[in-house]
Structure formats: C-alpha cells, structure tokens
Amino acid sequence: MTNLPTDYDARVYAGILGKLIGVYLGRPFEGWGRRQIEETIGEVNYYVHQRFGVPLVITDDDISGTFIFPRAFDDNNCPYDITPKMVADVWLNHLIEHKTVLWWGGLGVSTEHTAFRRLKDGILPPDSGSIERNTQVVAEQIGAQIFIDAWAMIAPGDPERAAHFAGIAASVSHDGDAVRAAQLLAAMEAIAFVESDRDKILDLALLHISKGGKLRRLVDDIRAWHSADPSDWRQTFTHIENKYGYDKFGGGCHVIPNHAIIQMAFLHGDDDFQRTLMIAATAGWDTDCNVGNVGALMGIKNGLDGIDRGPDFRTPVADRMYLPSAKPGSQITDAAVEAVRIANIGRRIQGIRPVMPNGGMRYHFMLRGSLHGFRVRGGDDATDGVTIDNVEIGELAENAGVAADERALLIAYKNVSTGVVARVATDTFYPSEAYVGGYEAIGSPNVYSGQLLRARVVSGRTNVRAASVRLCVGVLEGDGALAWLCSHVTVIAPGEASTLQWTVPDTHGRMVGAIGIQVVGQSGSGTVYLDWLDHSGVPAVSLCPPADGAANKAWRASWITDLDRLEFSGHESTYPYRLVSNNGPKQAITGGHAWTGYRTTAHFEPHMAENFALLAGVRGLRRHVALEVTSAGTVKLVFRKDDMVEVIAEEAVKWVPDTVYALSVDLNASGTVIGVVDAPGALIRVEGLIPMDDASGGVGMSVDSGVTRVSSMRVEPLTN
C-alpha cells in the first residue's frame, strides 16, 4: 500500500489530458513514416487535423480501450485485485464485434480481434492471447501497450502493482514482448507520480521486467544513443530504424519499433511536453498510439503546469472524449469525469473513501482548467461576445457560501438583449462531426425527456445588471443540427447565487444532443459562474423514431446493438422496429446505466423466432434482466451477469406467431423485478429478486434466431 499523492486527482487528470492530446495530435497521419511526415507536414508541433479535413475529437481505440478495460474494477465492486477473467468479461460485455473499441481486422490479422474470437469460443486468458495459440507475430503486436495508462493511474507510486495490473489486462490478448512493454510503460507512469528524474523513472521501472530479452536490449541501446548526442533525436531514430525497424518484425504494427519511439521521445524531449510529443509524432509509425502513451506519461510526470507551459493544447479539446461500448449512457464523457472515476478506483483498492466533487455533480469544474466539454454554442439567436474559462469562483465573485478555492466555469458575455442570447453547452450525444474514421460512434444519449436538470449559477458581483439565466437542451434534428428548448428564466442579482431546476420536456422522439445554460433578456454585458450542473432521475419517455426521419444517422447510432439487422420504420408506425438475429439471442439497448426504479413496456409481434424479450437493468451485452417469451411455451424472468444465467421465475404461456404480446418490466431499486405478459388468452405475472447492486441499467429488446416486430418502448418512473 502507498500513500496517494496530495495532487492525485490533478495528476490523473493531466495524464488523461496528455493521452487525449497525444492521440488527437497523431491520429490524422497514423501509419506514416518519418520522411513522409516531414516532407508533407514538417515537425508536428500542434494539431494538424484541419489540414486533413477531419475533426479533432473522434472515436479511437487508443482512448476507448484505455478507459473501458479498467471497468473490470467497477463491474466487480472494485476489489483489491483483478483477474484475467474479470478483464475478459469486460471485453465480452462491453465490446460489440465489428463496432466498438477495437480494430476489427480479422482473425490472425488483428491481435485484439483474434483474442476476442478466442474469448467468444470459450477460451480463457491467458490462453486467449498466448503465443502458443495465436503465434508470436500476432501476440506481440502493439495493443497491450496502447491500453496501459489507466492501470498506472490507479497505482500511483507503486510500479509493482501497476505492472501487475498491466500484465493481467495484457494477457487477455497478448504475450511475450507485448506484455513486457506494457508492464514497463505502466511502471514508468506509476513512478512518474512520485519521481521527476527521467533516468530514475526508467531505472526503477526496468526492475519490473526481466534483464534479458529484446525489450531490455532495446532500452539499453536507446539510452546509449541518446547519451551520445542528446540534442539529435533524428540520429537516434536512424539507429532505431536500422536495428529495430518494422522490417525486422512481422505483422502490421509490432510493439518493439513503437516502444522504441516512446523511449526515444521521453529521453530526447528535454522534459518538455510539447517537444516530447513532437518527437513521437514526427518520428512516425503508429503515431496516435505512441504520442498518446508518451503524452499520458508526461502529463502524469509534469502535471497540468507541464501541459500548459507550451501552446494551448487544452482549449480545442475541452476535455472531450468518446468511449463507445455496450454499456448504456457511458459513451459521451470527458477527461474530468474520467479522472475522478479512475482516481476513485485507486482510492477504493487502498481502502480510501472515494471523492465526490461538489457532492457528486457530474459537471463539477473542480479540476483546474476543466471544461467538461462545455463550449460556446452559437446560432442566429446568439451573440458572438462570449468566452469561457475555469476559475476560482471565490476570488472573483466573493459570494456567500462559496469556498474561496472552489472552481467554476466563468462565462463572460456581451450585448445580451431581447432575442440575443449567450449560450454555453456540453454534448450529451455524438455531434454530427463525430461520424468519421474507422471506429463507429455508437451509444446512447446521457439525457432523456423527463429527467431532471439542476445547476447552480452565480451572478458576478461587478455586473451592472442582474443576469437572466435559464437551462437549455439542444435537441437533434434530422440533419444533425440542434434546436434549443429552454426552461423558465431565473433572474439573479449581482453577487447572488441561485439553483436552477428543470424537467426536460417531451422531445417527441428526438434525442437530447446537448445541455447547458443561456443568459437572456436585458442582461447586457457581464459574467456568470456555472458552479455545477447535473442530470439525474429516470426519464418519462417513449423511445420512438423521430418524426423528422427515422433513418437518420444519430438515431441509428443511439441503439447499441449486436443484431444482424435492426430496421426502423416511420414515426407513425405501430411497430417501428424490426429485430433480426440469424443465430442466437441478440439485442438492441439504450438508456442509462444508473437508471433504477422504473417501468419499461413494449409490444412484440414475433414472426419466426426461438424467443423474444424485453430487457431492463441493462449494463452491457451480458448483464441484464430479461422478460422472455419462448417458442417452447414459457414466460421466463431471467437474470444474467456475465457467465451466470439464472431463471428467477417461470410460467407457461401460449406461443402464437404473428400475434401481439404486451410486455412490461418493473425494476425496483430494492432488487425486486416484476414482469407482466399480456399474451393470447392469458395475463401472466412473474416476479423475482436480484442483488441491489445489479438493480440499475438501461432498457432493451432482443430476439433469438429469428425476427420480431416491436412497438415504441416506454420508460417511466415507478410511483409508490
């Protein structure tokens, strides 16, 4: 057990920012060699995405795998240690083949896809990633190294534990030098929490890998080449290319050449965040992976000050990140939210109480410079004179009841008047520009109709006029644009604070794509501080395709599905969904992983199928409660948690194809589950009990080996 650094959360946050900045920096030219990069771009000192016509923030396996795989702790109530099987369960529960997280290059081509197929076939780790089963070339590709950063972040100052976690996770898909490289880098990052000297970091980390072998020789060589001429990284790269280049190894992206880039950049970077990332990016090969890893290392080591010392890498990112997976409501997130989650895992495994910034509010702004994805949102009704910043609210506002060191989002506005607003908001679903690249933007929105929005807003004490403020949601139209719906106006006098509260209205099938606040009316020019903002509760919503086009890309992406086909018909259709599974049970899910205390209902009309089901408490592909109607003539209430499948109640039913069955499931926070099936000639009720820890999650629908039509689903809170 180690003592946590006093700036633990800030260093984790800096490490995550470093990872994001590095991936976004290197992604546009991934796979290029140094000569092509320097001839086309030159030294890569800053983002170049605009030159490639792509957005800065997109889905990427380097980010999603890094922060999804540690859910092994969350999914198992945060034990002191994890096993390879726990990490494998995350793969099977959170990943959808060909859609989320990984590069799905095929068996024997993509190391991770190969391992995923082994897991699906019942082959457990470490055999699933072993050289014996998958060959050395496949098992020693780069992926294990890509995904290691969070394992170090939950073990600050403890390289042995960080290397252990990295090795456990890596064994699911990799072996040999791939595992050793992941362990070495994880150890370096763990040490970087407590040690600033680069040589000492490397010396201490090397104690956690074997002295012999290719990886150790590689590190020794790079240190020698660096010592010979510390100012010339290109000379070191030439040595790397000659001795450890891609042509010396098989496969598409071997770990050894790319690990060499990381070590070279770390040593030649002069302890400067921008220069270190520049070297890793300009050197080429797997640029988003390498720059992301070394960015995380430098972020942890030098903290936020190190990132902020150079150009403004942070504002364009605004903390934004996407984690596409099968866990409902977890895809649209940000660096500050994930920093608290990761740091709290580190606390729990040491028996320390988790922190809850601002009492557990999602958007808390407590980490210096954090924006939680909030950006100025324009439009025909919006003034251009708006800026935002993260500040210490007490120093600038001097409001009663606000601690002097509490941070908030400062919103400075100009020329707000009738019909002209100042608006800032954060995304709650993928924006239209996110649907690019090789990784699908799939997931469910964070906010739905009927949920409660709350925010604490402070009016600047030097304001000449009171600030008129209201909450707002941006509703996605068919073309991806946002239409803004707003709450009533709250007038806040200078130097005063108010807590705003609003229930999101019925959006008639359209998704909530953003939430935020607006300054309106005759507010003029001034400042307000968004102290915190949160969304909570169970929605009251009909999950029907929107009237402005059921087939739009955003609506389709909001259904997390492994079905062979999920078809949508029009908004006015009685049965707008058609589910098709060619073999086995498959599903479409949506909602929020924290929903509890609700009823969900839907009508099913099976045509040819083994069974169909209404799902509740969904937290992935293999964690849910299912109210299942089978062609064998039974109604089953089934609780599934990874490999464990338990029928908790069962009754007979008449199976009649092409006939309507009305299903409802009540999921209580106490763990009580009640299912009702209105079947031909009978009303059947089944009831059971599941653990309280599992009594939350999204909703869904499934079919087994066949096809069924389904009505719009309804979700609403249970009333006492």
Treating both helix axes as pointing N-terminal to C-terminal, what angle do 198-206 and 214-228 enclose, rounded to 10 degrees?
Answer: 160
CA distance 134 to 123: 12
In this predicted structure, the answer to whether residue 400 has a pLDDT above a threshold of 50 is no
In this predicted structure, the answer to whether residue 47 has a pLDDT above a threshold of 90 is yes
CA 124 to chain centre: 26
In this predicted structure, the answer to whether residue 595 has a pLDDT above a threshold of 60 is yes
CA distance 661 to 602: 9
Tell whether the torsion through CA atoms of 363, 364, 367 and 371 is positive or negative.
Answer: positive
What pLDDT is recorded for position 545? 84
Structure token pair of residue 659: 């006939």
For the whole prediction, is pTM greater than 0.75? yes
For 633, residues 6+ apart whose C-beta sits below 8 A from its C-beta are 652, 653, 654, 655
Return the DSSP state at 353: P
Mean pLDDT of 542-546: 87
CA distance 604 to 606: 6
- Within 10 Å of residue 620's Cβ, how many Cβ atoms? 28
Dihedral pair phi/psi, residue 411, rounded to 5°: -115, 110
pLDDT digits (tens, 9 = 90+) for 308-365: 999 999 999 999 999 999 999 999 999 999 999 999 999 999 999 999 999 999 999 9
pLDDT range class, residue 570, cuts 50, 70, 90: low
- Within 10 Å of residue 211's Cβ, how many Cβ atoms? 9
What pLDDT is recorded for position 397? 47
Nearest-5° Cα angle at 573, 570 to 576: 70
In this predicted structure, the answer to whether residue 479 has a pLDDT above a threshold of 80 is no
Structure token pair of residue 397: 């506002």
What average pLDDT is seen over the chain? 94
Written as one letter, the residue type at 323 is L
CA distance 605 to 687: 23
CA distance 451 to 449: 6
Tokens 């960015």 identify what position? 295
Contact 669, 657 (CB under 8 A): no
- Within 10 Å of residue 381's Cβ, how many Cβ atoms? 12
pLDDT digits (tens, 9 = 90+) for 408-464: 999 999 999 999 999 999 999 999 888 776 688 899 999 999 999 999 999 999 999
Structure token pair of residue 534: 């949160």
Residue 577: which H helix or E strand, with range? strand 577-590
Treating both helix axes as pointing N-terminal to C-terminal, what angle do 287-308 and 8-26 enclose, rounded to 10 degrees?
Answer: 130
How many CA atoms does the CB half-sphere of 382 hold within 13 Å? 17
Strand ranges, E, within 400-523: 407-416, 422-427, 452-459, 467-476, 482-486, 490-492, 497-503, 512-520
pLDDT range class, residue 547, cuts 50, 70, 90: confident
pLDDT range class, residue 405, cuts 50, 70, 90: low
In this predicted structure, the answer to whether residue 548 has a pLDDT above a threshold of 70 is no
pLDDT digits (tens, 9 = 90+) for 148-167: 999 999 999 999 999 999 99
What pLDDT is recorded for position 2? 61
What pLDDT is recorded for position 720? 64
What pLDDT is recorded for position 676? 98
Contact 354, 348 (CB under 8 A): yes
Characterize the bridge pairing of strands 490-492 and 467-476. antiparallel
CA distance 328 to 346: 24
Taking alpha carbons only, the member of 711, 718, 653, 717 closest to residue 686 is 653
Q: Sheet with 497-503: list strands edge to edge.
A: 386-392, 407-416, 524-536, 452-459, 497-503
CA distance 285 to 289: 9
What pLDDT is recorded for position 142? 96
What pLDDT is recorded for position 107? 95
| Coarse DSSP helix, strand, coil percentages of the chain, rounded to the nearest 5 percent | 35, 30, 40
Residue 348: which H helix or E strand, with range? helix 335-348
Nearest-5° Cα angle at 542, 596 to 657: 100
pLDDT digits (tens, 9 = 90+) for 236-273: 999 999 999 999 999 989 999 999 999 999 999 999 99
What pLDDT is recorded for position 432? 85
For 217, residues 6+ apart whose C-beta sits below 8 A from its C-beta are none
Residue 123 Cα distances to 128, 140, 301, 478, angstroms: 6, 19, 38, 44
Alpha helices in 558-643 (DSSP H): none
Question: Residue 636: beta bridge partners?
Answer: 628, 650
- Within 10 Å of residue 270's Cβ, how many Cβ atoms? 13
* Percent of the chain whose pLDDT exceeds 90: 88
CA distance 155 to 414: 46
What pLDDT is recorded for position 550? 45
179, 183, 184, 186: CA torsion to nearest 10 = 140
Written as one letter, the residue type at 177 is D
Mean pLDDT of 29-34: 96
Range name among 7-11, 306-310, 384-388 with the lowest pLDDT average: 384-388
In this predicted structure, the answer to whether residue 101 has a pLDDT above a threshold of 70 is yes
pLDDT range class, residue 399, cuts 50, 70, 90: very low
Q: Domains in the chain, start-ordered, CATH in brackets?
A: 8-322 (1.10.4080.10), 375-536 (2.60.120.260), 559-717 (2.60.120.560)
Count Cβ atoms within 10 A of the Cβ of residue 491 and give its class: 0-12 exposed, 13-18 middle, 19 or more buried: middle
CA distance 123 to 621: 18
In this predicted structure, the answer to whether residue 34 has a pLDDT above a threshold of 50 is yes
Tokens 């709450």 identify what position? 487
Question: Residue 89: beta bridge partners?
Answer: none
